[in-house]
Structure formats: structure tokens, C-alpha cells
Amino acid sequence: MSVLAALVAVTAVIPVAYAGAITGDFSQMVYKPTRLAVYRVLRTRSRIIGVSVALWVIALILHATVEATSTVLIIVTGVLIALFTVLGFVMSPYVMFPSIRDPEWLGAGDDRVTLTDDDPVIGLEVNGDARAFPVDWSFRPHLVEATVGGEPVVMSYCLLSNLGLAFTPELDGVAMRCIMPIQWENNMVIWDAAGKRLIQQIEGTVLHGPGAGSRLDVHPTQIMSWGSWRALHPDTRVFYNPPAGGWDTFVRKFIGTKFLEANRAREAPMFPTIERFDDRLPNKTEVIGIEHTAGARAHAVSRVCQEGVINDSVGDVPITLACTAGGAVAVFERARSGGVVELSRTETGELVDRRSGERWDGSGKALDGSGSDLVPFLHHSRVLWFVWANFHPDTELVA
């Protein structure tokens, strides 16, 4: 038996096995790679696959023409190369969570919109154009590219973090092409295949690659019930993405029913590779996370809804957190041309300035016809506390 052919065949497995260990989600049950390692593997994935395939072909040629080795070994190493290639580069972004780049939209009253009033949606409004992304129709694919209000937008949803974040898919004047290859510390990592950039969703910042340190342009979003969003935005359009086919149905049931529900039901994170925990709140508490140059802040959603309205400040920016109909939490700036408003909530869910008596609905639209709407303040809606605190260890919790 040819030792040389066997050695080359075994060596051929190493590059893709390493890649699979770095970019395979479930390897993080026992091992956490660095984000730099993830970036390097994704950036050089074609070369990694090429090296493994080339070595295996050389082993096959040696086996066939020089001195035969074990045929079983040749077959097994070939299968392993294919398996690790799929696990490392294909499974997550193209099989489990393929991005959608041509979404279908329905009107709120369309019979195909089978949502109940309690079903959660991620609400987005750009230039007066309101869109609803049902969570059950968004966790697969994780990434949806669309044009909203005349602007290109990518809606990202991480089911491990319960974080929906919409951003402009462009950096340095170059359009991004986003896929979701992996999670890291229970939050999705986004790979810009066009610009060769690695982005952590919750941070909204380019970690590695051209323009490292640049921040994405992010649009305010809210996670709320479908009934609440539709009441605030009756003309909204709905992202339509029900299960299509047996594989799609299986993946959604496996991920949505088994994985997501199990993740919410237990205190421990689904993936144990968390850098730090913060026991000021239970891990799976939903919070409103706010980033500012003055530092990060968090409000428990339950407390905001108990208070109704919380007038707060982030640095020198006065803001209001308002719990409106159906338990939806909106965040607005309070500084206006006429001064700083002090908001309270009426029994009907309207917001009123205690000083001037001006009124707004739960989306910040002025009810007096003046058009002087409240300006939404960027925040992370209903993100899970353990993820927020992990990525913002110095966050101030407003008790």
C-alpha cells in the first residue's frame, strides 16, 4: 500500500476540516473561534477548498498510477472534504438561511396574510413607507434585501438575540452582498461577500476587512405585535415568506419550534461561548438597548410598559421610551424647536406633552394636524439581555 498517497489524502482533509471548525455553528458548542479567524477563513474560502481538492486529486492520481493505497481511504477522505466544505461554507448561508433578495410584499388586508394580532413582527418605516417583517417569516432567511421608501435596505433578524436590525447595504459607495455564515456569542455575523467584510449584527460595525471600524447606517425598527403595527400603520405592506416545500417546512419547524422555543424556555444561552454574563436581570429578559457616545443604556421592556412612559436622557440627548398599544415600545427624541417635551400617556395610548398639550399617536405622528411628528431615536428593540450585556459590558441598566 502506498504510504505517500494515503498521507496526501489525509492531509487534503485538514484545510477544510479547519474551516469547518471555524465557521461551523455547532462547533461552538465546545469551541469559540476568534472573529479574526472567521474573517480569514471566509476571505480565503476559495483557496482553502482549492488546496483540499487539489491535494485529494493528487492522492487519487498517486493511487491510480504510482502505487495503490486503500480505496476506502480515498473515498472516505473525499467524502470528508465534501462534508467539511458544506458545513463550513454552504450549510448556513445557502441551505439553512439563504438570503432573500427579491421579496414578495402583500397589503395588510390580503387574505394570504394569515397573521394573528399577537404574532410578532419587526416594523420598519423609511420615508413614510411602512413595512412589517413577521418574525416567523424572517428567521429563515435571517437577511432580506429590499427597497423601502425608495432606499435600499437589508433587514436582519437574529433569532438567538431576538434582534431585528435594518441597515443600508452600502459602504464607501459600494453595494454590499450580505450572507449569514455563522453566529458568534449568540448573535449573527454578517459577511459582505462583495466587499470582503465581516460585520457583527448587534454592533453594526465592520470588524475586519476594508473600512474596518466603519459603522453601518441603521434605520430604527420595533418588534411588536402584528395587531399593534397594523393599527399604527394601516397602509403597511407585509413581507410574505410562508414555508415553501418540504425542506423549508422542516427547517422552520426544527429551528422555530425546537430550537427557538428551547432557547427562550431555558436560562442558559443556546451556545455556551459567551464572554461575560450580567446578573442584574435574568438572561432572557427583553430590553431596549441604546447606544450613544456617552455610553450604552438598557431598559427592561416590562418596566417601560409598567411605567407607560419614561422620560430619559442619553448623554445630552433627551429621549422618551413609550409603551403603546399591545405592549409595543417606541423611543423618540424629546428635543424640538419649541423646547424639550415631557411626555405622558393617555388611557387610549396617545402621547401628550404635559406642558403644551400636544398629542401624538404611538408611532409619533402628530394628532393635531401640524405635521410636527416626534423623531424616532435609534435603539435595539426587545433584544435579549444576556446578549446586550455581553456586547456592552459597561451598559447602564435603568432600574
Q: What is the pLDDT of residues 112-125, one digit of tens each?
A: 999 999 999 999 99
Can you tell me which residue has the cell 454590499?
176
Q: For residue 161, what are the CA distances in angstroms to 134, 281, 313, 386?
A: 16, 15, 25, 8
How far is 370 from 325, CA to CA, in rounded Å?
A: 23
Residue ranges per structural domain of the chain: 3-96, 104-265, 286-397
- Residue 51: pLDDT above 60? yes
pLDDT at 369: 66
Q: For residue 114, what are the CA distances in angstroms to 148, 218, 223, 326, 390?
A: 22, 29, 18, 19, 36
How far is 49 from 180, CA to CA, in rounded Å?
A: 19
Mean pLDDT score, 71-91: 93
pLDDT at 209: 95
Mean pLDDT score, 57-77: 92
pLDDT at 362: 84
pLDDT at 371: 62
Mean pLDDT score, 313-318: 89
Phi, psi of 307 (to 5 degrees): -80, -30
- Residue 1: pLDDT above 60? no
Write out pLDDT tens, residues 341-380: 899 988 878 899 988 888 998 888 888 766 688 999 999 9
Other beta carbons within 10 Å of 124:
26
Other beta carbons within 10 Å of 46:
9
Closest by Cα among 383, 367, 112 to 237: 112
Write out pLDDT tens, residues 331-352: 999 988 778 989 998 887 889 9
Kindly report the average pLDDT of the chain as a whole number.
91
pLDDT at 383: 97
Write out pLDDT tens, residues 199-231: 999 999 999 999 999 999 999 999 999 999 999
CATH architecture of 286-397: 3-layer Sandwich (2.102)
- Residue 183: pLDDT above 70? yes
pTM here is: 0.91
Q: Which region among 59-68, 148-157, 324-333 has the lowest average model confidence (pLDDT)?
A: 324-333
Q: Read out DSSP for 108-168?
A: TT-TT----TTSEEEEEEETTEEEEEEGGGTTTTSEEEEEETTEEEEEEEETTTTEEEEE-
Q: Write the CB contacts of 35 (distance below 8 Å, at least 6 apart in sequence).
A: 184, 189, 198, 200, 207, 208
SS3 399: coil
How far is 396 from 151, CA to CA, in rounded Å?
A: 34
Cα 139–chain centre separation: 9
Helix runs in 189-300, H state only: 226-232, 245-252, 261-265
Mean pLDDT score, 304-326: 89
More confident residue, 270 or 282: 282
Sign of CA dihedral 128, 214, 20, 1: positive
How far is 358 from 352, CA to CA, in rounded Å?
A: 6
For the chain, how far is it from start to end, CA to CA, in angstroms? 71
Q: Which three cell numbers stand for residue 199?
A: 460585520
- Residue 197: pLDDT above 90? yes
